[in-house]
A and B are shown apart, each in its own frame.
Chain A
Amino acid sequence: MTFELFLQHLANGISLGSLYALIAIGYTMVYGILRLINFAHGDVVMLGAYAAFYGAALFLLPWYIAFPLAIIITAALGVIIERIAYKPLREYPRINLFTAAVAVSFLIENLGIVIFGGRPFAFTRPEFMDVNLSFGKTSIISYTFIIIITAGILFAILLYLVNKTKAGMAMRALSKDIETTGLVGVNTDRIIMFTFALGSALAAAGGILWATKFPQINPLMGVMPGLKAFIAAVLGGIGNIPGAMIGGFLLGISEILIVAFLPSLSGYRDAFAFAILILLLLFRPNGIMGEVQAEKV
């Protein structure tokens, strides 16, 4: 393989990884505060992509309005899901919550098929994402970089929100001890809503960017990215935000590079994620950044 080709694959891997990372953060944040694997998170990714699609294709909004609007709408949907499906179950054993998440996932997918139709739609990239950039002998289409840069900006905003703002402080407190967080005067309900809004907003951004990279959308498009992102979150140490980012990049890059170096294995591409997961968990059961801690049930 030439160096140019390698760089091309690497850029591709990083952009895929940043998508996994964007989605993984939602899993990890929700797990961090509620100890819930939000099975429906991948479907929120799909909702984000469809919201952007309809904004652009049906309402003819320019991308700079359609995309942010889609993110806002999806964030609101994420909060509504939490209010309706998860909040009433918070006091019950975790398995109930998880079952609800599975049900929400199926509901969204099937409603998606009914409302959006089962037929895939072609997602049109904004023009500036479709520019061919050549670097010596390689050429890379601009969306690869735009995905990476956008994700980078979103990560920076998120880390700022979580580490430097009052709401972020409350989120971190809540992830340690929800009861005491309420006891010191924090409205824990609102922080939980805020967490779902943030996670769903990032999922929507991930879904929209996903659709610019793989420009066909369908109601089940969130399933595989959701699963991979969940694996990324576990790889990084579930509950840990930087861990989810690292896990996402690790997964995206290795998935692309393995196929690039061993093209004969390309049919097993989706299996790599699971293989990597199993291997890593054998050596680091709590993930890369995960703390060793007793299960909190």
Chain B
Amino acid sequence: MSQSDLVLEVKDLTIFYGNIKAVKGISFTVREGEIVTLIGANGAGKSSTLRAISGIVPWGGEINYRGKSLRGIPADRIVAMGVAQVPEGRGIFGNLTVLENLKLATWQRKDKAEVSKDFERVFTIFPRLKERISQPGGTLSGGEQQMLAVGRALMSRGSMVLLDEPSMGLAPVLVQEIFRVITEVNAGGTTVLLVEQNANMALRHAHRGYVLETGTISMSGSGPDLLGEPRVKEAYLGG
């Protein structure tokens, strides 16, 4: 692999909340076209890592996106650079309609024609959203909200998406559905960094994975390798 297909490079990343060091110097990479997953127990620092990349928590170390440091760049500029995030707990605006939630994510975009194509794409992937286009986001079911959050990330047309537990709280059928969409979006050329509690699903769909334990990376490898790793099995796949 050459340097040039590195999309995201995280080096010695540290994140403090007050005096508490939540992330203790982790390093990982994501290459063009990959699905990379970060798995780990509650409080390991997964969401914090994504929030640092998106520029909403202060961090130490290095984060480079396509060779450019993200230090000091505000959240909205990072989105404009092509990094979209589906935050943990979905972050749907309950007082905005489905359509408005999606529109908001096109804030940075000037390419009107492409935007309407992307609306069609999102509605093709999630026909349910189209049916509920003028419903307030807050009245959607949990699964529909998750679809909306994913759809919204697609609307910003990032070349990379950060997904924070997209399967959280969803029925098994919907979990399958969300992972199908992730694979589909990835096949369309979007690079994916996926944080998951559902380690089994995540590792089965990811090219590579990292295991995060209380702020440090304890293991890494290809999806299948990690799936076969006894320590991973024991800790995250229920034995």
Chain A residues close to B by CB (< 8 Å): 166, 169-170, 172-173, 175-177, 179-189
Q: Which residue of A lies closest to B109 (CB)?
A: A185
Contact of A172 with B95 at beta-carbon distance under 8 Å, contacts A166-B107, A183-B85, A184-B105 already known: yes
* Chain A residues near B85 (CB-CB < 8 A): 183
| Min distance, Cβ A173 to any Cβ of chain B, angstroms | 5
Contact B156 A169 (CB under 8 A): no
Q: Which of B15-23, B62-70, B73-81, B210-218 contacts A (4 or more CB under 8 A)?
A: B73-81
Q: Is the CB of B103 within 8 A of A183?
A: no
Interface contact tally, CB-CB below 8 A: 70
A185 touches B76 (CB 8 A): yes
A172 touches B93 (CB 8 A): yes
Q: How far is the CA of A180 from the CA of B54 in the complex (A)?
A: 10
- Docked Cα-Cα span, A165 to B222, in Å, equals 46
Distance in angstroms between the alpha carbons of A177 and B89 in the assembled complex:
12
- Chain B residues near A184: list those with CB within 8 A: 79, 84, 91, 104-105, 107, 152, 156
Q: List 12 A-B contacts (CB under 8 A).
A: A170-B104, A173-B100, A180-B91, A181-B93, A182-B56, A183-B75, A184-B79, A184-B91, A184-B105, A184-B156, A185-B105, A187-B74
The 7 closest A-B pairs by CB, nearest first: A185-B79, A182-B75, A180-B91, A187-B76, A173-B93, A184-B105, A185-B107
Residues of A within 8 A of B105 (CB): 184-185
B-side interface residues, number (CB < 8 Å): 24
State the Cβ distance, A217 to closest chain B Cβ, in Å: 39
Kindly state the separation between the CA atoms of A169 and B54 in the bound complex, as whole angstroms: 22
Asked if residues A183 and B56 are in contact (CB atoms below 8 Å), the reply is yes
Question: Which chain A residue has the least Cβ–Cβ distance from B152?
Answer: A184
Closest to B156 in A: A185
- Chain A residue with minimal CB distance to B85? A183
Q: When the two chains form their complex, are residues B87 and A180 in contact, meaning their CB atoms are under 8 A apart?
A: yes
Contacts of A180 in B (CB 8 A): 87, 91, 93
Residue from the list B54, B100, B108 in contact with A183, Cβ < 8 A: B54
**CA gap between A186 and B85 in the complex, in Å:** 13
Contact of A169 with B91 in the complex, beta carbons under 8 Å: no
**Chain A CB within 8 A of B94 CB:** yes
CB pair A186 B91 closer than 8 Å: no
**Contact in complex: B79, A169 (CB < 8 Å):** no
- Minimum CB–CB distance for A160 against chain B, Å: 15
B96 within 8 A of A: yes
Measured CB to CB, the closest approach of chain B to A90, in angstroms, equals 13
Closest to A168 in B: B100
Contact partners of A183 in chain B: CB under 8 A: 54, 56, 75, 79, 85, 87, 91
Tell me which of B75, B87, B107 contacts A170 (CB under 8 A).
Answer: B107
Interface contact B87-A186, CB-CB below 8 Å: no
Task: Check A186/B56 contact, CB under 8 A, given A169-B96, A176-B94.
Answer: no
The smallest beta-carbon distance between B18 and chain A, in angstroms, is: 13
Give the complex CA separation of A176 and B90 in angstroms. 13
Residues of B within 8 A of A176 (CB): 93-96
